[in-house]
Structure 1
Amino acid sequence: MSAQLHHGNHGLGNSAANAQVIEQIAAMLKQHMGLDVAAVGSSLIERGVRERMSQLAQNDIYGYLHTLQSGVGELQELIELVVVPETWFFRDREAILAVARLAREKIVRSPTANVRILSLPCSTGEEPYSIAMALLDVGVPAGQFRVDGIDICKRSLSIAQRSIYGRNSFRGKQLEYRERHFSVYDTTASALSEEVRRQVGFRHGNMLAGDFLVNEAPYDFIFCRNVLIYFDRDVQAQAVKVLERLLGQDGCIFVGPAEAGIMLRPHIESIGIPLTFGFRRKAVTVPKAEVMPALPSLAKPIAPAWMPTSAPVRERSKTAAPLPVARPAIEKIVMPAQDDLLTRARTCADRGELAEAEALCAQHLRAAGPNAGAYYLQGLINDARQDTATALQLYRKAIYLQPDHRDALLHLSGLLAAQGDVAGAQRLQQRAERAQLKQGNEEQPHV
């Protein structure tokens, strides 16, 4: 998510009557927007109510409750005070770069495809605009992708549509995108380019409303970060159902680090890209040949074209020639105990425990020696810390040990593109595509 809830320190008194009114108002907010007061504290509601009463020149909290109950207009005004934007460009850099890479791969596979992306809630626009910039920077044609930004706060949407941002929206060290996509508006603000603005559309919406995007086409990628944590368990389950309904069959949902446990369900799995906190539906498992019923009309069962690649060779026809086995990736040739260290490191990285993940990577390297997988994961960790120089070195180490390490090639390409080295980035992308084709050819004999 690109917003946070505003915590206030001002109450309305300690009387039991006032407390009961605050509870009623909290119940209204929860019913409308899912906000769980237990997760944020009653001072959040109290401060918003206090400010609205001051703006309306009301001294009686019961009078304000009556105003609130009279229509949705005042409830929306209170929501505007409860939710305060807290976001910046490329805040969730790993997830954004992963979407850019995955979107480009989809276009490469299907040149006429269109990529649909949802940012929910989009706050003041930094997240959806960052996604659009990332896709344009990796070469996804402008005519083949669209980003929809939806938020419950109308004031935030107004700022997003204006697309003029101050210094607080540009944080961290990796700001090369600012030179490519922004122009100077005045001494304190920058204006986003029309090229990026055209890729993003904004609208008001409430994901808990019964008619939310009911007629909308499925999305390939959905960003819903750091909002589920403000819901109780029942509302979280309701929100996840909404996200699944909006997600395309092969799509991905990206949530915040603290929300990964909410997404893990029997039919949902991690996409396996560290630090992205991305999830997708599990593929439907096809029964193996040995448990499939025999076909009485055939003398010998014929393996269908959709047989899983993991099907044992012994199940194939005895007259078929021996099939070659794909060469495993270099980083997987490690001892079980050492491999367990790297697995634990990836798990820690996915949870945002970067220091622990880095320590496990170092322990793995001491035990197993130079290893592309460990160097790649260390690169991701430093990438997340916005230590570009170190990340560049580690990605290059991984590629030196394994020249066809596709993920390292693509991440290094993204860093070079961010630094303005477009030619170098394109060369690495081409190498990554060749690596993907090579891996596909090696796996082909198993089909």
Structure 2
Amino acid sequence: MYIKFINETQNYDVCLEDLGQMIYDYCGLNYLDNLSLLASKMAKRLSVLDMSYREYTEFLKRNPQEWNHLIELITNNETYFFREENQLHELSRAVLPQFRNQECIRIWSAACSTGEEPYSLAMTIAESGAVPLKSVHIIATDINHKVLQIARRGWYHKNSLCFRRTPQEMLDKYFIPQDEGFQISSFIKDRIEFRHSNLLNNEDMAAIENVDIIFCRNVLIYFDAATTRRVIAKFYNRLNAGGFLFLGHAETITGMNTHFETINARATFYYRKGGR
């Protein structure tokens, strides 16, 4: 009886690790070092499907659409408007003026979640006056279909924590009160194109046209060094010469030999691709 219990536990661990490996290969999220967290996130879904981990991994192979459900369970989508304000100030102060003579400025918000980041970028650009907002095209992507639906709608409940750093004047200027929340104005909404995209999928990345600025914040913290290098290489290839990359304040690629130049501003840092 004791031996049977040990064997069942070992099989459980192996099948859970197999699922962790599948997730890592698919989207780069590394649960292999924290399988207990993955188990907690998967518990309800396995209960609904009445499956073991072994059965679920086979089900996932036969039914690729199940990845949509799985991604909803394993991704972290916490965000808010005007996050990391120092970077937004630097965008207005130092980066945008370098594109003032450019007819079209393309910005990519990678892993945009429920849309607060790309909308914040558009509002920041509108406020800055450094370039006309009509010359800016923002591509916002995420791997999670559910959060993209929220982002495309552009409506947020008035009690949502996403407004915790939103100045009242910005709320009055760029949002329309609607029902129990606020709808982003069409003036801002029309500058953004939302797309589904997996940062590790070569076809998805090839579909992203070259851009001038990339924001990918608080995403690399969920990747290991090898995956980070892969993603950063993709960003480098998608950036035009002289383009800029903004990462989260807790993320750094310095010392990774990525060919990016680190720019240290007074209250933040970011990266530049040479050649402009």
Task: Select 1:163's aligned residue among 141, 154, 157.
Answer: 154
Matches within 5 A, 1:102-251: 102=94, 104-108=96-100, 110=101, 112-139=102-129, 140-166=131-157, 167-172=160-165, 174-187=167-180, 189-251=181-243
Q: Which residue of 1 aligns with 2:5?
A: none
Q: Which has the higher contact order (CA 8 A, sep 6+)?
A: 2
TM-score, normalised with respect to structure 1: 0.56
* Alignment deviations for residues 176-226 of structure 1 (CA, whole Å, 9 cap, x no partner): 211110111123x11110100001110100111122332543211101111
Does residue 277 in structure 1 map to residue 269 in structure 2?
yes
Aligned-residue Cα RMSD (Å) equals 2.1
Q: Which residue of 1 aligns with 2:29?
A: 35
**CA-CA distance at 1:64 after TM superposition:** 2.0
Query: Contact 2:205/2:234 (CA < 8 Å) preserved in 1?
Result: no
Structure 2 gap segments, 5+ residues each: 1-7
Q: Which residue of 1 aligns with 2:4?
A: none
**CA-CA distance at 1:97 after TM superposition:** 2.5
The secondary structure found in structure 2 opposite 1:183 is strand
Change (3 A) 1:266 1:193: closer
Structure 1 gap segments, 5+ residues each: 1-13, 285-447
Higher mean C-alpha deviation, range 195-204 or range 173-182: 173-182
* Alignment deviations for residues 366-420 of structure 1 (CA, whole Å, 9 cap, x no partner): xxxxxxxxxxxxxxxxxxxxxxxxxxxxxxxxxxxxxxxxxxxxxxxxxxxxxxx
1:145 maps to amino acid: V
Provide the C-alpha distance between the structure 2 equivalents of 1:72 and 1:168, rounded to a whole number of angstroms: 33
Query: Contact 1:236/1:262 (CA < 8 Å) preserved in 2?
Result: no
1:82 maps to amino acid: I
Change (3 A) 1:215 1:186: closer
**CA-CA distance at 1:49 after TM superposition:** 2.2
* Alignment deviations for residues 261-288 of structure 1 (CA, whole Å, 9 cap, x no partner): 457537322223233331013469xxxx
Matches within 5 A, 1:14-93: 15-38=9-32, 41-56=34-49, 58-93=50-85
**CA-CA distance at 1:55 after TM superposition:** 2.6
* Alignment deviations for residues 141-200 of structure 1 (CA, whole Å, 9 cap, x no partner): 23200111000000010000010112211013734211110111123x111101000011
Provide the C-alpha distance between the structure 2 equivalents of 1:175 and 1:15, rounded to a whole number of angstroms: 54
User: How many residue pairs get matched?
Assistant: 266
Percentage identity across paired residues of the two chains: 30
TM-score, normalised with respect to structure 2: 0.89
**CA-CA distance at 1:43 after TM superposition:** 2.5
1:274 maps to amino acid: R
Instruction: Give the number of the structure whose alpha-carbon radius of gyration is greater.
Output: 1
The secondary structure found in structure 2 opposite 1:223 is strand
Provide the C-alpha distance between the structure 2 equivalents of 1:173 and 1:205, rounded to a whole number of angstroms: 28
Q: Which residue of 2 aligns with 1:417?
A: none
Change (3 A) 1:173 1:141: closer
Provide the C-alpha distance between the structure 2 equivalents of 1:203 and 1:230, rounded to a whole number of angstroms: 21
